[in-house]
Each structure stands twice: as C-alpha cells, then as structure tokens.
Amino acid sequence: MTKIELACDLEGNFIAFRTETLANVGAYLSNFSTVTPTFLHGTLMAGPYKVPNVYVNVKTVFTNTAPVDAYRGAGRPEATYSLERVVDKMCRELGLDPFEVRRKNFVTTDMFPYTTPVALAYDTGDYHATLDKVMEMADVAGFEKRRAASAAKGKLRGMGLSTWIEACGIAPSHLVGILGARVGLYDAATVRVNATGNLSVMVGAHSHGQGHETVFAQIVADKLGIPESSVEIVHGDTAKIPFGMGSYGSRSLAVCGSAMSKAVDKIIAKGKKIAAHMLEAAEGDITFEDGKFSVAGTDKAKTFGEIAFSAYVPHNYPLETLEPGLEETAFYDPANFTYPAGAYLCEVEVDEGTGKVDVVAFHCADDFGNIMNPMIVEGQVHGGVGQGIGQALCEFTTYDENGQLLTGSYMDYAMPRAEDVPFYNVDYSCQTPCTHNPLGVKGCGEAGAIGSPPAVVNAVIDALQRGGHKHVTHIDMPVSPSRVWTAMNA
Amino acid sequence: MPKDHGIGASSKRREDIRFLTGKGTYTDDMNIAGQAHAVMVRSTVAHGRIKRVDTAAAAAMPGVLAVFTGEDFAAVGGNPAGWLINSRDGTPMREPKRPVLAHGKVRHVGDAYAAVVAETYQQARDAAQVIADDSEIEELPAVVNMAAAVANASNRVHDEIPDNVCYDWGWIEDNRAKVDAAIKSAPHVTTLELVNNRLVPNAMEPRASIGEFFPGTQDYKLTTTSQNPHLTRLLVAAFVLGIPENKLQVVAPDVGGGFGSKIYHYGEEALARCAGRRNAASPSCRTRMAETT
C-alpha cells in the first residue's frame, strides 16, 4: 500500500516526490525480502527525472501470510508503477500532455553522470531518444483514427505511457555492504582452453531458461575468433564452477559476463607470451585478431589452436618464465549498477458493458546498451511484458480475514494466457552502452515486468476518461472486468 | 547485414534442443538408487500455537524411514535475511528466526511443522496425514490486514515484536525536511493511493530438492532448483546447518524458470540434506498447491 505525492508547478515541472508505503513481508523474512521494498525500490524513486526532492518512507510489516520476496523486477516495478501512475494523474489534473511533461522533466544527455536525490549515479542514458522512438513505433499521431475505429465497434480505446528506469546488474559489493547487504555481489568465470583448442567455460551465473549457454559462448567465440560450437558453458554445480553469486537482478551478463570477458582477456595476454616465444618475437609486437597471433607487420603467425596445443605440450615453450596450461579465472565486482531505461506505450480497448480490457497494442523502446543476441533480448522483453500484463490485468493473491488463502489454485489465481497478450512491437536500437563494464551491457531480464504495468493501467484510465467516465482516476491492479465495471458504474 | 555468429548475432539457443525435445534433466526427473520421499506436514491455520505433535503412530507406518518436527531443528541456525535494514532512528530491523520447521507457533497457512520421509511418496503422504491428525494446534486470531497489524499491538505474529513492524525506513532521511517544505509550498500537489497486488511466481518447474549423504567420505550433495547454487551452499552450510562448505556440493541442474522464487533458500532444502544423512535421499517435489502457500 503506497501513498505517493507529486509536487509540481502549473507547467508540470516536477518539484518533489514523497511516498509512504506499508509493505507486507508475510510471516517470516525470506532472504531478500528486506531489501526489495527498500533499496531496490526507494533508490529508484526519482525515475528518469531531474526532480530535486525525493523522500521515501517504507514500513515493513509482519502478517500471518506466506513470506514474500523478490519477483522479476523486485521493488523496481513498484517504484515505476507509483511514479508513472502519479505522473499520469497529474497530467490529467492540470490538463497537460503526458509526453511533453515527461520530456521536460527527463534527465538530459549532457547531465551524465547524474546523481539523483535518492543516491544513485546514473552513468548514461538517453530518455528522450526512447520516448521519441516509442512514439514513432506506436504512431501516436494516428491514435484518434484508431480510437474512432474502436468506437465504431462499441469499444473505448485508450493509450498509456510509461517511461521507466531500473538499477540492475546488482552490484558493487562495497556499496551494497554500506547499505546492509550480508553478501558480496561480484561474479566469477573460469575459461579453460583444452589442449585441442576448444573451451570449457565455468561461470557463476546460473541459466534457468535465459540462454546463457548460447550467449556466453557467442561472446567467448567472438573475442577469440573461433566457432561458437568450440565453446561449452558449464554452470550450476559448486564442484565445477568458481564461487559466483548466481542469476537475479538482470546481472548475469553485466556481472558474470564481464568476469568471463576479463578471463578471456587474460587468455589472450598469455597466448601472446606463448606466441612471442614460438615466433621468436617481442611480446609487444604480437597482435591477436581473428583467431591468430601474428608478428605485427609480418606474415608470421600462429593460430589460437596451435598456441593452445603448445600450452599443454610445452616442448617449445618459455617454461622458465611461464607456467604451462591455458586456463584463467576472473572475478568481477562492478563499479556501479547498470541503468537500462525505456519507454513503453500500450493501447487497450475496454468493453463498456462488461469492463473487460483487451491489450490491443504494446510498443517497447528500450535502451539495454550493447546487444549480444537480439533474438534473446526480444524474448526477454516479451516474457517480461507478458508478466507485467498478467500483474496489471489478472494476477492477485488474496487471503480472507482468517488468513486462509483464497487463490490457491489456477482456478482462482488468474495467470495471463495467450489471448490476454498482443503481438509485441519491440525495439532496442537506442543504445547508450554502460560506461563501466567491459561489454557495455546493461541487462534486459526484468525490463518488461518493470515498465509495463503502469502503461497498461494508464491506458485503461485513458480509455475510461475519453469515454466520459471522468470520475475514474485510478483502479488498483489487477484491472479485472469486475473492477473496471464497478469503477465505471460507481 | 545482421551478423551470423558472435556478438550481436541472433544465434539459435543451443539449450532449446534438449528443452524442446523433452531431454532436459530436472531435479524431479532424477531417480537415485534407494531414493526416499519427503512430505511436509503443513499448517491449515494462519496462526496457531502448537500444543502437540505426536509422530509415534506415523513413525510405525509401513515404509516410514524418519520423521522430523520443529524440535529437531531447534538447535540449528535459522534461515537469515540477506540484508540488514536500519530504521529511521538508527535501530536495526527486527529479525525473527525463520526455522527449518516451525516450532512453538505456526504463522501462515502452509507453514511446515513436521515432515515424513518414506520409501514411497504415497507412504510419506499417508504418514503425514496421520501426523496432522495426531497434532493439536490452538488457532489464534490471524494478523492479515496491515493497518490492523500495526495498530493492534496485542495480536503479534512474533511474540517478541510488539507492533509487527520489521523496520521503519526512510530514504534519504536527510532529505525529509526539505521535501516536506517543497511539497508544502508547491503550486500543485497530486496525491495517489494505490495497492501493489501480491503475485505468485509461477515457473514451469515447481521447486524440488534431493539430499544425498556419502558415508565413505562424509560428503553431502544437494540437488535443487536454484538460481544460485553457491549462495544456497553458503546458506545451508554456514548459516542453517553448520557444516563445512567443502563437504557440501550443491547442484542446480536444468531449472525450469525462477523469476526470483529460486534465489532463496527454503527449509525443505535443509531438510532434504538431513534426510539424506539418514540414508534417505528425499526429493520434496512440491505440488502447485503448495507453491502458492
């Protein structure tokens, strides 16, 4: 339960945000349950905006319900939802354009690195670019025509915007330590080049559907100029992998991928020493490109495979100064969080007779920094937005006054189904690479779940307002048919 | 021209070959020789005082290898919160111990207060039902509504926490006066009260764990549905059960989605490890019903 206040001038320039929240933690403290409503939430309460004053108060309360903990996005969806809903409400109260209000309040590209009043330091971003992009994708200018078409079918049509930011790639150990974390949040990777030139890469991140085995292999193969099929990614076994902190908070690529990238750099550096010996050249004259170690300015070269073989059969090898073998480990502790951001635009149709909401269009313009595998990024956004639409329209865990769970099966707990979600329109061409990790990546796993719920709810309120239901300024999620109908007919 | 390999290419997901052809290896698919099965006895009331848990009849039932109650874990460490939050006044959060199995009180519907390990899943279920029948839990008024939880000091989830508040956090406390003044003097203030709906993570694969013990080396192995096997090892070994990390191997094989729910360590994992010690590997593959409680 959150009460949020947005103070502004009459042109919509933000002056302050203040929130008071009661957070239900359930009966016990699960491992991350204390940080989710606090540091993963309050630190994001400035959003992508240059608001000078922000204060967040959270009281976390024990109840006789199941313990709760982080779920895709964890604290950041709640921050985004509060902010983007109240901004929308303010625009309506003052008769201002929601696109223009966001535009005039965004942190601008010349302000980075930008420190917010809630203590995060955004390294880079371009919030105007993603907003422009989503408006182009969604054909905002053509909305009236689409609304008229919906009206001809007897449906109310609305459009909702959400401009979101998250802090992920969790995170610098020294910082989280100051803030109360009882663990470090680095990650680790070991790159083992086998004698025949293929690789086993042991990573601390865990893949439970994300596709690390594919993407991590792409990165290693690209850096070493070898086929992806020569690289095997090993994860999920403490007896095999270096001590890593696992996968959550959109951290696998930004943190563990960075460790892996650094370990590959060590492999290349050692390879150069071996090549220098074999090619009878100075180490400084060796270059590495497209899988070949070459003496600069000559045609003398050794392939990556030849260097690997030499490391394990070290007959012609500088054993006095260099250990045999070709295996390197790197731990990586990031200097900062990463800050993916984006603009989401949702269009809904509402059936006035039943209150049923159909999401008819969903456009996402995201800035994830550099992209390693576009197909997987799109899949992550689709999944995240699907979960966000589930939160906005369907899902709700509820207890009766005796603490009995009323939504204990799929007959009572409504999961979104294929018919509840539209075909998504996803773009990630606005890229401001992360400035402090070697791959320039920001993370994309939680974005969809963070950015989408307010876009859906804003669109529903917009549809009702345009349809003449001026008294409806908010409906709590899930925006179910009964809630929408009740609000319209109140 | 899009790249066809390396960074920036839409390389096809190599893991999908096994996932889409039913050849993945998930915890519940595994069958270890001599594997036993654990079933939890769960509270049917939201709040209650445990007066009696009689396991004698259940222990004598066919196939039953071991029974556990909260008392068995009273001496080991609790499952800790990973982050210490201080309240606005500087005091540390109230952090009640989260036991492997509840003792003294049950605090939510589904709170496990006993467990049975048996040769088959059906035998374990039958015996768990007998323990439930042989137990007496005095139902207490439930604390459900948050406003009431804070207001009603007499009704406590944890006896030692008078107002049911874990912490009262301000961010950033030094901003508070300035923000209050800015809002007071602002030309316009928009106020919105909202509820963030409580969600249940619904990964395709529910949680499951198998605990094994190897008497020859005194090593343990926990196969579990985790997003972070080293973190789970740290929690189980160092915090909850007090065994050396080097004697515990944690394996998270193919895991069918997590969405956060498989970050955390659950009491069932510690129990699987203990059951393994009694020569009974115990997958506690929980049903979807249990997942939502």
pLDDT digits (tens, 9 = 90+) for A37-71: 999 999 999 999 999 999 999 999 999 999 999 99
Question: Do A358 and A478 fall within a single domain?
Answer: yes
pLDDT tens column, B159-172: 999 899 999 999 99
What is the DSSP code (8-state) at residue A117?
T
**ipTM of predicted assembly, 2 dp:** 0.94
Which residues face A57 on adjacent strands?
Answer: A20, B170
Q: How many CB atoms lie within 10 A of CB A482?
A: 11
Chain A 80-99, residues with CB within 8 Å of chain B CB atoms: 81-82, 85-86, 89-90, 93-94
What is the pLDDT at residue B80? 86
The letter for the amino acid at A18 is R
Tell whether A155 and A211 lie within a shared domain: no
Contact B142 A403 (CB under 8 A): yes
CB pairs under 8 A between A and B: 419
Of A253, A189, A376, give the one whose Cα is nearest residue B16. Answer: A376
pLDDT in tens, A96-115: 999 999 999 999 999 999 99
- Is residue A179, in this structure, part of any structural domain at all? no
Query: Which residues neighbour A47 within 8 Å (Cβ) at sequence distance 6 or greater?
Result: A79, A80, A83, A84, A163, A164, A165
pLDDT tens-digit map of A235-260: 999 999 999 999 998 899 999 999 99
Tokens of A269: 């550096």
Judged by CB atoms closer than 8 Å, whether chains meet at B257 and A209 is answered as yes
The two tokens of residue B233 are: 């090892």
> Residue B238's pLDDT is what?
83
Q: Are residues A12 and A152 in the same domain?
A: yes
Instruction: Please say if the pLDDT value at position B32 is more than 90.
Output: no
- Give the closest residue to A135 by CA, choosing from A105, A107, A106, A98: A98
A160 and A208: one domain? no
Query: Which residue range(s) make up the domain with A249?
Result: 186-332
Task: Give the residue from chain A lying closest to B288, CA to CA.
Answer: A409
Q: Which of A332, A367, A402 is the last residue of a domain?
A: A332
Q: What is the pLDDT of residue B281?
A: 43
pLDDT per residue as tens digits for the range B43-64: 999 999 999 999 999 999 999 9
Residue B157 lies in a domain: yes
Question: In A383-467, where do the E strands start and end?
Answer: 424-427
Q: Is B117 helix (H, G, I), strand (E, B) or coil?
A: strand
pLDDT tens by residue, B205-255: 988 899 888 889 989 999 999 999 999 999 888 888 888 999 999 999 999
Provide mean pLDDT across the span A266-285: 98
CA-based nearest distance B192→chain A, Å: 5
Q: What is the predicted pLDDT for the residue at B90?
A: 95
Q: How many domains does chain A have?
A: 2
Minimal Cα–Cα distance from B215 to chain A, Å? 18
Say yes or no to pLDDT of B280 above 90: no
Q: What is the domain range of residue B220?
A: 27-163+197-291
Are residues A213 and A151 located together in one domain of the fold?
no
Show the tokens assigned to B280: 């009974």
Q: What pTM was computed for the model?
A: 0.95
B287 pLDDT higher than 80: no
- pLDDT band at residue B277 using 50, 70 and 90 as cut-offs: low
Of the candidates B126, B158, B44, B113, the one whose C-alpha atom is nearest the C-alpha of residue B268 is: B113
Q: What is the domain-level CATH number for residue A18?
A: 3.30.365.10
Q: How far apart are CA A138 and CA A133, in angstroms?
A: 9
Domain count across chain B: 1
For residue A182, the model assigns a pLDDT of: 86
